Structure 1
Amino acid sequence: MTADTQAASATTPPNRMTALRTTLLGALLTAIGPVSMAIYTPAMPELVKAFGTSEAAIKLSLTLYFGGFAVAQLLAGPASDAFGRRSASIAFLLIYLVGSLMAVFAPSVDWILAGRLVQGIGASVGMTVARATVRDQFVGFEATRIMNMIGIMLAVGPAIGPTIGGLSLSAFGWKSVFVLMVIFGVILLASCLLFLKETTVPDRSRLRPSILVSTYFSLLTDLRFLLPSLVLGGAIGALYAQGTMLPFVLIGEVGLTPTQFGLGMLIQTGAFLSGSIALRLVSGRISGPTTVVIGLMFSGIGGTMMALSVHLLPPSFLSIMLPVGVSTFGIAFISPYTVTVGLAPFPKTAGSASALMGFIQMGGGFVGGLLAAFLGDPLTAIGTIIPAMEYIAVGSYIAYRIINRRQ
């Protein structure tokens, strides 16, 4: 091999993946985070009884999961830049499996808490690598369409997750919920080993502390990145945050069984799936910014409906889930274009940018969950925190459009 050939191989990524393969693997990788939450939520009230603990302790398990997921992304992203998307995915998925097995064999609630934290750390690689691989290979409208298709496929997992979790819980007990996570982790690990190709040129310098800090600082001070990330942190963060509240509202306040709760959550994920399909149908006819405006209108209206229903109506399934469905329909319109424009200016640090965007997104859910635990009453929390987060998303996008026009 000549020197010129060696130089070229050091700067040229290996074989690229097709759009279909990128979409399928991206959907699986992105799904690991929300699926691990969706399958788990029906079991939360049962875990309170099984371990003779408090609701606050079990809510903490979700908070730890969110925290581990959010913070670990800040390492998972640079690790995928430094060692490659494939190697980082395999390593973090192994961590996820360790956390899942800790929960399966947990002798006490402390082991559940620790297992969920480790699970969150391992799952953090999914969203980061999925977005980075799209950014590595595709740009513009094609990237947005792939992101949208990932969203459509992603909706299937969380849609059936609560239902599967509720049925498994009723039939086999709480341990079976974590066994399902082990199975999903093994399937995803095998998929990465067999089908995920390297889409970037690894650069070990990206993990140097000085470069890492400099990269994140430059991203946080660049409004082209920060404002789209805050849009996602408000809108999708609200979706994650309400996941910590809905089990206690619908099971504790409305009186649903875990199985009924799992079936009822089909409204949320069905709304997301419907929004993703609707976006795919109209994406060729309207601009990306217009799709975000439509999505934020639905999300803002849904948040307002939630605030009004909680404070003016007695809690019922429809009074809670109808606003959830409206806002979730809108979220499907927001994510693809917002992710694309937020990552587009940063091709050399796509992994780190994707990680920080995911951190802000999940951080929104983490802060929302903490505030919900602080307020105590789940109805007050869902009727106050969720609308506020939707309004933050709307305000951030308005600011982005104003600044973008000036530039």
Structure 2
Amino acid sequence: MKPDLIKMALMLGLLSCVGPFAIDMYLPAMPAMAEDYGVPTAMSQYTLVSFFIAFGACQLFYGPAADMFGRKPPLYFGLVIFLLSSIGCALAPTIEWLIALRFVQGVGAAAVMSIPRAIIRDRYTGTEATRLMTTVMLVISISPMLAPLVGSLLMAPFGWPSVFYAVALATVASLLLIRFALPETLPVDQRVPVNPAAMLGAFRVLFRDSYFMGMTLIGGMGTASFFSFLSVAAFLYTDYYGLTPSQFSLAFAANALGFFIASQFAANLCERFGGVSVVKWAVAGFALSGLLHLLLNLAGVDDFAVLVALLLLANGFLGLVVPTTMVLSLDDHGPIAGTAAALGGTLQMMLGAVAIAIVSAVFDGAPRTLVAAITICGAVAVLLSVVTLRQPPQAVTT
């Protein structure tokens, strides 16, 4: 890979890690936090739901803002909000305050979810964009491997609030990275005027583009699958299977390994077979792995090693689906890349938040709820791919 691609991938990957870090690092703390506040498990899971609702919805504002004011000013704004709310989370006196502050934290984190995608689209398209996107995913994949372990190590001597102080320090590092290393990729003469009508027109174009919506929702099923896992992982692994926080961190990292490895082959596979073919076959593999897992569970197979192995397999297929659908959804929308990335991110986060709410509501402590949710996500993704990819994308006027 070219040196400039590697440099950009590292910067965007580190920025994009801020939001996931606030999720993954926090997971081992959820049981202890629920115990400290004296609340049931479901109450602690609402801290995830509130974060994801804001994380998804607020991308709708950051995307157009990035098209109007450039890429860097909205990043500064979002990260400052994220920094202040992270400190507030560490000091929250009640679970209700924590839920509210997690919402504010999600408002800030939304900036580093959508804008890096637009930065990629500013510079690259096609295979180069896929290669950069997968390299960014490589950097992001380090987060679920290391963040829970770091969180569990901090919790032991300092308690769960230390997790939020660590996130605040990472945010300061991100602000310095933007200030001194990240270039502005949207020149002034290419920015969209501050015009609400133009912004609504851009959203109208995107909602009418069936190819954009289809690719976004296919990736969204992957997001919903992973968020279903996030919502119950700490309780399933520690309460049902009896893992310690450190063991949970290692098992959680193993689940990210499949995504991590597969995503590195996405660009080469797209170059050889085409992005559409990669999405078709990877979605089919994701759905079949989920179905196999459900059938084994229904047959009475309830083994931790089997659970981890099949989750790793499913996440491997998602490592091909997620970055490829991101690139394909933005290819025809260069002039409104920020808005397109924001809408795509919002829809995917909303699907994830819905998945968390449903799975948390019906979770009974056993793995079957999670396995069924992943299987349903795979089945819906297959249906979406059949509808979306049965004909070539139509030209769309932006």
Could you state the TM-score of these two structures normalised by the residue count of structure 1? 0.90
Q: Contact (CA 8 Å) 1:170, 1:259: kept in 2 or not?
A: no
CA distance in 1, matches of 2:265, 2:195: 43
Query: Unaligned regions of 5+ residues in structure 2, if any?
Result: none
Aligned to 1:13: none
Q: 2:388 aligns to what?
A: 400
Whole-Å Cα distance in 2 between the matches of residues 50 and 131 of structure 1? Answer: 38
In 2, Cα distance between the equivalents of 1:316 and 1:44?
A: 24
Q: Which residue of 2 aligns with 1:220?
A: 207
2:13 to 20, 27, 38: 27
Mapped partners of 2:282, 2:137: distance in 1: 14
Aligned partner of 1:99 in structure 2 is 85
Counterparts of residues 303-342 of structure 1 (less than 5 Å): 303-313=290-300, 315-342=302-329
Q: Tell me the amino acid that sits aligned with residue 58 of structure 1.
A: S
Aligned to 1:6: none
Alpha-carbon distance, 1:240 to partner: 2.1
| SS of match in other structure, 2:243 | coil
Deviations 1:85-122 (Å, cap 9, x if unpaired)? Answer: 11111110111111101111112212211221111111
Query: Structure 2 vs 1, CA of residues 279 and 218 (structure 1 numbering), >3 Å: closer, same or farther?
Result: closer
Contact 1:63–1:366 (CA under 8 A) maintained in structure 2: yes
Q: CA deviation at 1:238?
A: 1.2
Instruction: Tell me, in whole angstroms, the C-alpha distance in 1 between the residues paired with 2:219 and 2:193.
Output: 25
Deviation, 1:21, is 2.9
Q: Which residue of 2 aligns with 1:372?
A: 359
The alignment status of 1:258 with 2:241, answered yes or no, reads: no
Question: Which residue in 1 is equivalent to 2:197?
Answer: 210
Q: State how far apart, in whole Å, the 1-side matches of 2:384 and 2:193 are.
A: 29
Distance 1:180 1:309, change over 3 A: farther
Aligned amino acid, residue 166 of structure 2: L
Residue number among 161, 175, 187 corresponding to 2:147 in the alignment = 161
Report the number of matched residues.
Answer: 391
Q: Does 1:344 align with 2:336?
A: no
Could you tell me how far 1:190 is from its partner in structure 2?
A: 1.0
User: Which consecutive residues of structure 1, in runs of 5 or more, have no partner in the other structure?
Assistant: 1-16
- Report the residue type matching 1:199 in the other structure: T
Q: Deviations over 1:337-372 (max 9, x none)?
A: 211111011111100100011111111211101111
Q: Over residues 171-203 of structure 1, what are the superposed CA-to-partner deviations in whole Å (9 max), with x where a residue is unaligned?
A: 321011111211111111110111121111457
Amino acid at match of 2:388: Y
Q: Given that residues 302 and 325 in structure 1 are in contact (C-alpha distance below 8 angstroms), is that contact kept between their aligned partners in structure 2? A: no
Q: 1:171 to 1:196 in 2, by over 3 A?
A: same
Which of 391, 398, 401 is residue 379 of structure 2 equivalent to?
A: 391
Q: TM-score scaled to structure 2, two decimals?
A: 0.92
> Does residue 269 of the first structure (1) align with residue 250 of the second (2)?
no
Give yes or no for contact 2:67–2:192 (8 Å, CA) kept in 1: no
User: Distance in 2 between the 1:84 and 1:403 partners?
Assistant: 35
Q: Distance in 1 between matches of 2:345 and 2:250?
A: 28
Match of 2:36 among 22, 47, 50: 50
CA RMSD of aligned residues (A): 2.0
Residue deviations 1:229-267, cap 9 Å, x none?
011110122112211121121122222122211111121
SS of structure 1 residue aligned to 2:273: coil
Match in the other structure for 1:286: 273
Q: Which amino acid aligns with 1:372?
A: V
Residues 231 and 82 of structure 1: is their aligned pair in 2 closer, same or farther, counting only changes over 3 Å?
same
- Give the Cα separation in 2 of the matches to 1:163 and 1:316: 23
SS for the counterpart of 1:56 is helix
1:14 equivalent in structure 2: none
Instruction: Indicate how the Cα distance of structure 1 residues 406 and 209 shifts in structure 2: closer, same or farther if over 3 A, else same.
Output: closer
For residue 280 of structure 1, report the CA deviation from its aligned partner: 5.1
**Residue from 73, 76, 80 that aligns with 2:62:** 76
**1:75 partner letter:** F
Superposed displacement of residue 405, structure 1: 6.8
Cα–Cα, structure 1 residues 107 and 92, in superposed 2: closer, same or farther, change >3 Å?
same
Distance of 1:19 and 1:281 partners within structure 2: 15
- How far apart are 1:216 and its partner, in Å? 1.5
Residue among 219, 233, 240 paired with 2:220: 233
Supply the distance in 2 between the matched residues of 1:194 and 1:329 (Cα, whole angstroms): 35
